[in-house]
Amino acid sequence: MLLGFVSLRVWPRRRPAERAAHPADRLGADAAYGIGLTLGRDGHHLAALEYFGSAARQAPDWWAARQSYASALYNGAQEARVHLGKEEPATRSSVERIAMVNASMRESRGADSLAQQPGDHALIAFQNGQTLHTFGLVDDALVEFRRAAALDPSSKMIASALRGAERRLASGGQAE
Give the model confidence (pLDDT) of 135-153 as tens digits.
Answer: 878 889 899 999 999 999 9
User: Which pLDDT score is estimated for 98?
Assistant: 87
CB atoms within 10 A of CB 159: 15
| Whole-number Å distance between alpha carbons of 148 and 128 | 10
| Whole-number Å distance between alpha carbons of 101 and 72 | 10
Query: Beta strands 86-89 and 80-83: pairing type?
Result: antiparallel
Average pLDDT, the chain: 85
3-class secondary structure, 81? strand
| Whole-number Å distance between alpha carbons of 139 and 171 | 12
User: What interhelical angle do 138-151 and 118-134 show, nearest 10?
Assistant: 160
Residue 77 vs residues 24, 74, 101, 125, 175: alpha-carbon distances, Å: 20, 5, 7, 19, 21
User: Could you tell me the residue ranges of all domains in the chain?
Assistant: 22-114, 117-170
Q: What is the pTM of this model?
A: 0.78
Contacts of 78 (CB under 8 A, 6+ apart): 45, 89, 97, 134
Per-residue pLDDT tens over the stretch 18-71: 555 777 777 888 999 999 999 999 999 999 999 999 999 999 999 999 999 999
| 126 neighbors 156 (Cβ within 8 angstroms) | no
CB atoms within 10 A of CB 54: 26
| Whole-number Å distance between alpha carbons of 54 and 56 | 5
Fold type of domain 22-114: 1.25.40
| Whole-number Å distance between alpha carbons of 149 and 47 | 32
Per-residue pLDDT tens over the stretch 84-143: 888 887 888 888 888 988 899 999 999 999 999 999 999 999 999 998 888 878 889 899
